[in-house]
Amino acid sequence: MSDSPGLRTTLVTGSARRIGREVALALAAGGWQVAVHFRGSATEAAQTVADCLRLAPAGARVESFQADLDDETQARALLPRVIERFGSVDAVVNNASMFEHDTIGSFGYEALLAHVRTNTGAPILLAQALHQHVCTRSGSARTADAVVVNMLDQKLWNQNPDFLSYTLSKAALEAATTMLAIALAPQLRVVGVAPGLTLTSHLLSQEKFDSLHQLSPLGRSSTPQDVVAAVKFALDNASITGTTLLVDGGQHLMKFDRDFSLM
């Protein structure tokens, strides 16, 4: 466990903004110490740290860590840096993601490899590093309450030809979630969380987002609070590993011919 008695520590990648920020805030409010990772959003990361500290219990630590997960050297060094600062780490939430548009017509090696490095390779390296850390602190024969949560996408269960490289990289991460759960047990659990359309972006007007958000059997897709609740459930439920929680209002049950941003 961490150096602060009774407090668990998690690294949340890509937590300066959007869903990652919401996860960091909720975990801080829930008593976790949080390592806030960012690539280029230093100002936003500092704000997330400050907001987490206001929510966290007395004595909890929250710090930010910059790393470009596209770079293998930086990805490998990230968790050891967090361990050096916090003393111990109990969970990694692999939220950081590259999301660039391509199709079969524009597909090329460079785009695919860029997505795979950030969206697949880095989460695997961080899971590997957490397993090594847990074995060192606990002894390889003992079960430890350590968890990796991989953020996926309902697109994997509702495929369309848009964002080809992104989807392939997330499909590889979904497969890796199963493989890692087998390879790293019993010291680590590995769980996927797959949101539906959750936050708008520059690609969607608010009116269009609201309309698309309602396209599901339940009449709405996931909210940030829904996604956060699923992450917290995955972190706390000691019997879940090697599977994915789809949090999308059932959007994966409906056939969409295009990505939401292009509908």
Is 166 catalytic? The answer is yes
Q: Beta strands of the chain (E only): which ranges?
A: 9-12, 33-38, 62-66, 91-94, 146-151, 188-195, 243-247
Q: Beta strands of 9-145 (E only): which ranges?
A: 9-12, 33-38, 62-66, 91-94
List the structure tokens of 213.
């958000």
Active-site annotation holder among 32, 38, 163, 166:
166
Residue 25 near residue 49 (C-beta atoms within 8 A): no
Residue 259 near residue 163 (C-beta atoms within 8 A): yes
Pairing verdict, β 91-94 and 146-151: parallel
Q: What angle do CA 102, 106, 110 make, to 5 degrees?
A: 80
Residues with active-site annotation: 166
